[in-house]
Structure 1
Amino acid sequence: MPAYIILDIDVTDAATYEDYKKLTPGSLQPYDGKFIVRGGAVTPLEGDWNPTRIVVLEFPTMHKAKAWWTSDEYAPAKTLRQSASRTQMIAVEGV
């Protein structure tokens, strides 16, 4: 069953975040992850949620999604993201 990691990111340091964006794609490959959404325009439709940057990653399984998030491959990028943004992140199984 596919799994998705969904991030709501408020970038606080644009230069460092650009470095993060360069590191992340390579870290996804060993876990068969891919970008579905990567910071496109956001249009609120209901409620008061107004995120500035949405990212959605797809993995073939929840196991691979969690393994990527805790991986040595992603660790350097994760450190950059955490220093350059405020992030809300969830993992959810698809159907």
Structure 2
Amino acid sequence: MSCYFIISVSLEPGKDRADYDDYIKLVRPIVEKHRGRYVVRSEGIEYMGKDWRPDRFIMIWFPDRESIDRCFSSEEYRRIMSKRENTVDSQAVIITAGEMYGDDRDKREGKMG
């Protein structure tokens, strides 16, 4: 079943962003090699609360959980991950795709969520 890999990124104050910018350039072909597809990668965030204020969000679709595991445990990814770890604070979740609201079955059964 397909999955979404969602990451929030907060830039570390006083850290040089050059390594993170390099990481961004290097990680995309690795993700794509493992059948990942970027859905969102944006710093255009509107905050709805006071306490959680990441600088960037990334959402990547993968066809299955195994593809995520292979991608982020690959040797080529391990070679670049320190560029991210040393410059930003990031949190990630994996969400397994479920049913979409508003699909035909929901319409037939009169469900709206």
Task: State the TM bucket, normalised to the shorter chain.
Answer: 0.7 to 0.9
Tell me which residue corresponds to 2:9. Answer: 9
Q: Say what the alpha-carbon RMSD is for the aligned residues.
A: 1.6
Contact 2:43 2:55 survives alignment (8 Å): no
Matched, 1:84 2:79: no
Q: TM-score, normalised by structure 2?
A: 0.75
Correspondence list, 1:4-83, <5 A? 4-12=4-12, 13-45=16-48, 48-83=51-86
Higher RCO (CA-CA < 8 Å; seq separation 6+): 1
Gaps of 5+ in 2: 99-113
Larger Rg: 2
Identity of aligned residues (%): 25
Uncovered stretches (5+) of structure 1, i.e. residues with no partner: none
Runs of 4+ in 1 over 2 A off after TM superposition: 44-50
Deviation (angstroms), 1:47: 6.8
Residues paired across the two proteins, number: 95
